[in-house]
Structure 1
Amino acid sequence: MKRLLGFALGCLLLSIPLFTALAQSDVALPNVEMTEIARGFSRPLFVTHAGDGSGRLFVVEQGGRIWILEEERRLDTPFLDISQLVSSEANGAGYSERGLLGLAFHPDYAENGVFFVDYTDTNGNTVVARYRVSAADPDLADPASAEIILTQQQPYANHNGGHLAFGPDGYLYIGFGDGGSQGDPNGNAQNRSSWLGKILRIAAGPEGGYAIPEDNPFVQDTNAAPEIWAYGLRNPWRFSFDRETGDLYIGDVGGSDWEEIDYQPAGSPGGANYGWNIYEGMHPTSGRAAPEDLVLPITEYPHSEGVSVAGGYVYRGSTIESLQGIYLYGDFGFG
């Protein structure tokens, strides 16, 4: 059985409130204290590293800037500023699901200086673009190096997805929400000809556009988009690969009632259908029959315990031995 602990492990850096959401594990929740390591950010929503051994952290702001943290100090100049290209205006509820949403460094970044971003452009479309680091300064990206590799029209302003991650296979995985509104009115998540409500898997190198991996699950299906790796997702806001096993964990934001964590073991052939909008969590949402290829989440929790799953990571550190191998995930707030 997968070991999971659900609680908000956020700090001021990530703007995630602290609370205990769920503990479905055979170990007790350890005494964890939060430590603020930096401040001065505007709507930070993701932190990652370049895998280049520099020890730097890269903080993504929703408004379109990426900052470098070096030895817990924010550098004075953004690594990248594409705020003029990005739409992130608040909606009527006072928040936005658009903006600069994802960042992934190429596995060979130390050699080629290539990274990818996912953002909502000023027309409301999702854009995935490739950039390079400046040849003159490793702490600055070259804005002139931008190359758009794909664009997706978004029918509504919410459920943009936006996460990017390179898998252990070297391919780029891209998360797309179902296109927004309520209940997936256009049926995008179950429509395999649409990218919406999916995780895509593409070969994105340092040059050119992208290629379709030959072993993608729907390459031979003329009625499906060949980029699709998984479908039936509402808004896979954050997903991650266990760096030891290669297993994939997906935090899929729920609708009215249930938040869920989906799982795909390493070596999977892809093509999993996680059920939305026929299922929310482990619960049918309509009178339609369950899909034959339905894959239920490995855990769920109701909105009395949270409101929007934020995804997480399998702990592979050495500081807290009792957490070794446990998937830690958080939520945006209380129910």
Structure 2
Amino acid sequence: MTRRLPIAALVAVGVMAFAACGGDGDAADAPAPTAGDTPAAAGEQQTGAYRLARVRAGLGDALYVTGAPGQADRLFVVQQSGRIRILERGRLLPGSFLDISGRISSGGERGLLGLAFHPDYARNGRFYVNYTEPSGDTRVAEYRRATATRARPSSGRILLRIDQPFANHNGGHLAFGPDGMLHVATGDGGSGGDPEGNGQDRSSLLGKILRIDVDARTGGRPYGIPADNPFAGGGGAPEVYAYGLRNPWRFSFDRTRGDIWIGDVGQNAIEEIDYRPRGRANGANFGWNAFEGRSRFPGGGPVRGSAPVAPVAQYTHSAGCSVTGGYVYRGARAAGLRGRYVYADFCTGRVWSMRAGPRPGGVRDETGRLGVSLSNVTSFGEGLNGDLYVLANGSLYRFVGR
């Protein structure tokens, strides 16, 4: 297993150690920080005022929140232990939308890790979850809605089965892209340093962003392979869309531009944010384990295939220990964040943002403007109207104006 958080931090978030899986050595053994490579060094003037308003406390092991098409007043809260709950205007509805706690393994970096609603969910009632089964292997499954507030547990249909050689680095995030395809984040399989070389192995489903068509079937699979996937015709696993990732903990698509942003958790030294414009992540190599951030990873393997794409932002373990990827803010409540990608560090609770667009940049430290002190930042989430949420220590907050 990799470097652990202090017990106090683990207790504060239940069993969500996965978010801080930073390496197999102590942070003290990491290379010394390089001046100027932490987000705080970039500095930029604040252009608007905002704060965090608490929406709900007491959410326990919640690790993701999202909206569902056609249900503007509701948020769906994913709990690592296997339940999906509904928040309606800040009120937690009784019972569960879905409870698969009896079908999963939960603890450490395992559990119910991701949720995505079909773009046409309002009509077809289909949604997708990513979880680790009792053996520890990854499953991506489709479920169907029974009523507006209840899913049909018996409707489960497994789409993807991915063997996991170790207990950590499961990734787990799911999101539909602007192309209507389901994207699946997978970690490199675990342990430390990617001992099996999965990140650069294009035939492996580990250490990747996968891309599948849930509305089609190809070659006996319960899903389709998009014809423009980089290895649809050979040279790698046909599901692979982008590779060279260690443990992507939350990726997102800019709802205005369609660009992809990825928070990739580092080993012992560097946390990174990866970015590609819309459509240009196809076949992208983000470098792991040949690179950690913009630096060669000691003991890493060779680069396979295309030249690595350098991260657009990175920080060393002098500023935190585990990145939590976020979203480009396109909402109306917090004017100072419009058009900026917001992300955070799990351990320190520091929050940064950077300018989105054709040339992302202008990183600034947002921590002092939040109005609350955060720690154990498990995830960001986005509402249907563009509202931006953050989960920390079992509480859900929303970015709002002053």
Output the CA distance in 1 between the equivalents of 2:282 and 2:216.
25
**Deviation, structure 1 residue 25:** 6.3
**Residue in 2 that maps onto 1:219:** 232
* DSSP-derived class of the 2:336 partner: helix
**Deviation, structure 1 residue 36:** 1.8
Structure 1 residue aligned with 2:198, among 183, 188, 191? 188
**Residue in 2 that maps onto 1:138:** 148
Change (3 A) 1:47 1:200: same
**Deviation, structure 1 residue 185:** 0.3
* DSSP-derived class of the 1:322 partner: helix
**Residue in 1 that maps onto 2:94:** 76
| Count of residue pairs brought into register by the alignment | 310
1:24-82 residue CA offsets vs partner (Å, 9 max, x unmatched): 46442755432221123221100000021432000000000000000100001110000
**Deviation, structure 1 residue 289:** 5.9
Structure 1 residue runs of 4+, over 6 Å off? none
**Residue in 2 that maps onto 1:295:** 309
Q: Does the aligned pair in 2 maintain the 1:129–1:150 contact within 8 Å? A: yes
* DSSP-derived class of the 1:310 partner: strand
Structure 2 residue aligned with 1:61, among 79, 90, 101? 79
1:253-282 residue CA offsets vs partner (Å, 9 max, x unmatched): 111000000001013260000000010000
Structure 2 residue aligned with 1:149, among 136, 159, 171? 159
Output the CA distance in 2 between the equivalents of 1:58 and 1:193.
34
Structure 2 residue aligned with 1:334, among 340, 348, 352? 348
**Deviation, structure 1 residue 165:** 0.1
Q: Does the aligned pair in 2 maintain the 1:198–1:230 contact within 8 Å? A: yes
* DSSP-derived class of the 2:242 partner: strand
Which amino acid in 2 is paired with 1:158? N
* DSSP-derived class of the 1:36 partner: strand
List aligned pairs for 1:82-97, cutoff 5 A: 82-89=100-107, 96-97=108-109
**Residue in 2 that maps onto 1:22:** 39
Which amino acid in 1 is paired with 2:46? A
1:92-131 residue CA offsets vs partner (Å, 9 max, x unmatched): xxxx110000000000000000000000000101000000
Q: Does the aligned pair in 1 maintain the 2:117–2:127 contact within 8 Å? A: yes
Change (3 A) 1:30 1:307: farther
Query: Which 5+ residue runs of structure 1 have no aligned equivalent?
Result: 1-11, 90-95
* DSSP-derived class of the 1:59 partner: strand
Q: Does the aligned pair in 2 maintain the 1:114–1:206 contact within 8 Å? A: no
Output the CA distance in 1 between the equivalents of 2:276 and 2:341.
13
**Residue in 2 that maps onto 1:37:** 55
**Residue in 2 that maps onto 1:126:** 138
**Residue in 1 that maps onto 2:184:** 174
**Residue in 1 that maps onto 2:379:** none
Q: Could you say which structure has the higher helix fraction?
A: 2
**Residue in 2 that maps onto 1:237:** 249
TM-score (norm 1): 0.87
**Residue in 2 that maps onto 1:158:** 168
* DSSP-derived class of the 2:54 partner: coil
Output the CA distance in 2 between the equivalents of 1:219 and 1:26.
43
**Residue in 1 that maps onto 2:126:** 114
Q: Does the aligned pair in 1 maintain the 2:50–2:334 contact within 8 Å? A: no
1:139-160 residue CA offsets vs partner (Å, 9 max, x unmatched): 0000010000111010000000
Which amino acid in 2 is paired with 1:254? G
**Deviation, structure 1 residue 138:** 1.1
List aligned pairs for 1:226-265, cutoff 5 A: 226-265=238-277
Which amino acid in 2 is paired with 1:201? R
Bigger RCO of structures 1 and 2 (CA < 8 A, at least 6 apart): 2
